[in-house]
Structure 1
Amino acid sequence: MLGRELKNRYRIVATLRTGGFGQTYIAEDTQRPGQPKCVVKHLMPATHNPQFMDLARRLFNTEAEILEKLGRHDQIPQLLAYFEDNHDFFLIQEFIEGYPLSEEMLPGQPMSEAKVIGILEDVLNVLTFVHSYGVIHRDIKPNNIMRRGQDGKLILIDFGAVKKISTQIVDPETGETPTIAIGTGGYIAPEQALGHPRLSSDIYSLGMTVIEALTGIPPRNLPEDSVTGDVLWQYQARVSQEVAVILDKMIARNLAQRYKSAAEVLDSLRYVVSATVPRSLNSDRVATEPITSINYSHNPNISQELQVKLTNLLTDEIGPIAAIIMKRNVSKAIASQDLIERLLAVVPPQNQERFRQKAYAAIATSAQTPLQTSSIKPTQTPPPTSAATNQINPDFIRRCEQELSGLIGPMGNYICQRAVKQHPQFSAAELVEFLVTQIPDPTKASEFRHKFRF
């Protein structure tokens, strides 16, 4: 193809890439001043069977018209021309001076969270536009995201839709054309790999792309949970809880749990980024309707009613992302008081006391589960355990409460009290060993045990 001039205009000067779907070249437009570069995509049908060619031709024209509309976006290459020549199909697109995002993502060198958020927001803006036309990109990955040299913006290239032209196979008996998976291993969504792509498939691929940026590890090298199949990536990354929950929802294998649209992801991301900005500076925030039910996590110590109330309170502070953060923390919390302390970590500092007061008021007005018999806030000290119901000296129990609170915070009082009530048969030594298991930091756990040597 080198040196060939298509339509007496586009002279092929270099090969960009060759793949199973066709070839991509750099050409010069000889009919424009300065003969600027352009990209030529040569799509070769799987067969020249007349029935297939009729289908391929209709598909090609339809997809080209879509690409022409998408090219109106500043961060998508403009379609300059498309035509058929000798039973092959050609697309002529704008040439982007720059380099692929993969050149910024070096193995073993994770990007900062701030930079990854910038990448995510930039691509989501483009993807929102693409999805507004009902178009699925089908092949989002670092090599298909270009960093434009003139302004540093990210450009989404190489839409997989046109590749369908080379993968359609007509069944001569039924006339049906089964869908063949298009995408790249590691980045491709599970349902897309089975030949059933949808808009949220692009969200999965983008999620895996930014996870690679955060970890410095290619997706195929990340381990999976042996039971759920979920990608295990967080222990390899330095990332905030709020961003982590967004990424987890982007790459959820279960479609019901994954974001449905790029706009939805973008909305969550913007709320997280602005979560520390005082409400007075966010007067344009759209009011959120109160939540009456949520897909709550099972926790025998925290009722569904309380989860809904706390989700509404948290939504008032940080927006729709609250439901995700709630679900993530409910399963980890040992009691409602512990859940509140966890949620405070994502509430703007100036609003934390207000949130704490409203949250404890919600506990008081919610149905209590058997393990929530205490309404004591973690900032208060529970009454001493009666020696009539436990042989451990009450002074020893109070000392345990003080030492545990000194290591893990006010929740130490509640944890100790609960342990005594639930395990009245414990000896002093057994109580200490049980409390040691409640301290997540190994160093602090060892320090606690050392204070109670028998």
Structure 2
Amino acid sequence: MVEDRFSNKNSASTDESFAQIVYAKVKSNGKTELVPLKLHVDGSWEPLDPAMFAAPATSGGKILLANRYELQRILGQGGFGRTYLTLDRYRFNEPCVVKEFLPQHHGDYEAQKSRELFEREAKILHQIDRAQIPKFFACFEEDEKLFLVQEYIKGQTYSSLLRDRQQQGQTFSESEIIKWLKDLLPVLSYLHDRQIVHRDISLDNIMLQEGTHLPVLIDFGIGRSAIVQGRSQDIHGTPISYPTQQSIVGKVGYAPYEQIWLGQSFPSSDLYSLAVTAVVMLTGIEPQSLTDRSSLKSKWQLHTSVSDGLVKILNRMLQDLPANRYQSAAAVLTDVERLTINPQTQLSQPVATPLPITTLTAVPTSPQLEMPTINNLTPEFIARCEKELINYIGPIGKFLVKTTLTKHPNLSSADFITLLAQHIPQPVQANEFRNSFR
């Protein structure tokens, strides 16, 4: 098991690839010792004192987990833990991936809930048996830390593949994206039919597997921590509970608003992230650079040339409100299979140059121009609510106004303002927001 212990930087190696010193528990001759290692930025490590590892492998001088999985290198590290490439000594040194889960909260209640969530998610992963998803082998606990063991997928992530294309001045073509969607949508349909949402789809979490040449979904967003419930009242005085603390799963820009802001995810949330990933593959531009700051709308069409049919499909998948998106992967697949490929779109596209964000202006869409009056909530009143709420909590305010309208279409203006004010965390500012409409 590897435990971080940061050392004095002045005593570190001058090697530019050196990252930090870690301590590894090494079993040798029946004894367990803490051995200092140099951890490099590429995930490899080496002993500070080579003599300490001079013994042959048969002496036990290897870093083992569960006395079985021999660590080779770090594959990745994130907010919820580390991922290691290991060799399974019980399976003829077959490569496999071991994921170390590191809960972000250390209180007894949070730790227990995190453990329960981890075990529940491990059981879910154990039930998955489908190509293009790494097989789940085992889970175990060591030194009060939790680990998952999964199949090792040999290949490249699509973030790596895209970088290779960009170095040649190209991105992915429309025909490649259509085939990619056709390959992945059945996988998502399989998961969603079993009430499983991936929650972390991005270029980094999809790999092109060697040999099969099929995309593989990796790194499910399983690392959610416990949610602490608070108490409050709604506009009618009825007691309600609300989440006051939660970990966010998903990458900003790739995950939809309901997932990042509210901690909720649905099958359509995965479809949103899949569409963002497709757009990045088409344009070679990260989602934050494709979004207009005033309207919060993606202007990705300005940076690529694809058919109207694919534009329509991706834009529906990218709708802000979950109810306005496709509700199933099967429905998306049906529309994708109807697309006719233009021979010109089969060629890789040149890399797009991001436009300066200041040149992208908000373009009103037809639903905004034709917004009906709901009770006394006129389009002008709703636009004012958006503007005022954005002043207090930022651009997410526009999304929350739309969400509140969808959930509560028959509210009076006073009740509507009261609901919106609940999204402002500071009581003084929430009161100022309410008073501005009196």
Paired position in structure 1 for 2:207:
146
Paired position in structure 2 for 1:81:
138
- Bigger fraction of residues in strand: 2
Q: Give the 3 Å change call, closer, same or farther, for CA 170–256 of structure 1 in structure 2.
A: closer
Contact 1:131-1:199 at 8 Å conserved across structures: yes
- The residue matched to 1:104 in structure 2 has which SS? helix
List runs of 5+ in structure 2 lacking aligned partners.
3-23, 25-61, 232-240, 344-365, 371-438
Paired position in structure 2 for 1:113:
174
Report whether the alignment pairs 1:222 with 2:280. Answer: no
Contact 2:189-2:329 at 8 Å conserved across structures: yes
Q: Which residue among 235, 240, 253 is the counterpart of 2:307?
A: 240
Report whether the alignment pairs 1:16 with 2:16. Answer: no
Paired position in structure 1 for 2:420:
none
Aligned residues: 275
Matches within 5 A, 1:291-310: none
Contact 2:63-2:70 at 8 Å conserved across structures: yes
| CA displacement at 1:172 relative to structure 2 | 10
Matches within 5 A, 1:103-182: 103-106=160-163, 107=166, 109-160=170-221, 162-164=222-224, 167-168=225-226, 170=228, 178-182=245-249
Higher Cα Rg, which structure: 1
1:196-240 Cα offsets, whole Å, 9 max, x none, are: 22221111111010011111211121132733x220111211100
TM-score, length basis structure 1? 0.56
Q: Which residue among 91, 100, 104 is the counterpart of 1:46?
A: 104
Structure with the larger RCO, 1 or 2 (CA within 8 Å, 6+ apart): 2
How far apart, CA to CA, are the structure 2 residues paired with 1:175 and 1:256? Answer: 22
Contact 1:23-1:42 at 8 Å conserved across structures: yes
How far apart, CA to CA, are the structure 1 residues paired with 2:208 and 2:177? Answer: 14
- Bigger fraction of residues in helix: 1
1:271-291 Cα offsets, whole Å, 9 max, x none, are: 224999xxxxxxxxxxxxxxx
Report whether the alignment pairs 1:213 with 2:272. Answer: no
| CA displacement at 1:86 relative to structure 2 | 2.2
Paired position in structure 1 for 2:325:
258
How far apart, CA to CA, are the structure 2 residues paired with 1:203 and 1:109? Answer: 25
How far apart, CA to CA, are the structure 2 residues paired with 1:233 and 1:275? Answer: 20
Percent of aligned positions with the same letter in both sequences?
36
1:170-207 Cα offsets, whole Å, 9 max, x none, are: 46999977433211122111111112222211111110
1:359-399 Cα offsets, whole Å, 9 max, x none, are: xxxxxxxxxxxxxxxxxxxxxxxxxxxxxxxxxxxxxxxxx
How far apart, CA to CA, are the structure 1 residues paired with 2:245 and 2:315? Answer: 31
How far apart, CA to CA, are the structure 2 residues paired with 1:36 and 1:86? Answer: 24
The one-letter amino acid of 2:285's match is I
How far apart, CA to CA, are the structure 2 residues paired with 1:254 and 1:47? Answer: 31
How far apart, CA to CA, are the structure 2 residues paired with 1:104 and 1:45? Answer: 32
Tell me the C-alpha RMSD between the 2 structures: 2.8
How far apart, CA to CA, are the structure 2 residues paired with 1:213 and 1:168? Answer: 34
How far apart, CA to CA, are the structure 2 residues paired with 1:182 and 1:79? Answer: 20
Q: Give the 3 Å change call, closer, same or farther, for CA 247–47 of structure 1 in structure 2.
A: closer
Report whether the alignment pairs 1:270 with 2:328. Answer: no
How far apart, CA to CA, are the structure 2 residues paired with 1:172 and 1:254? Answer: 26
The one-letter amino acid of 1:266's match is L
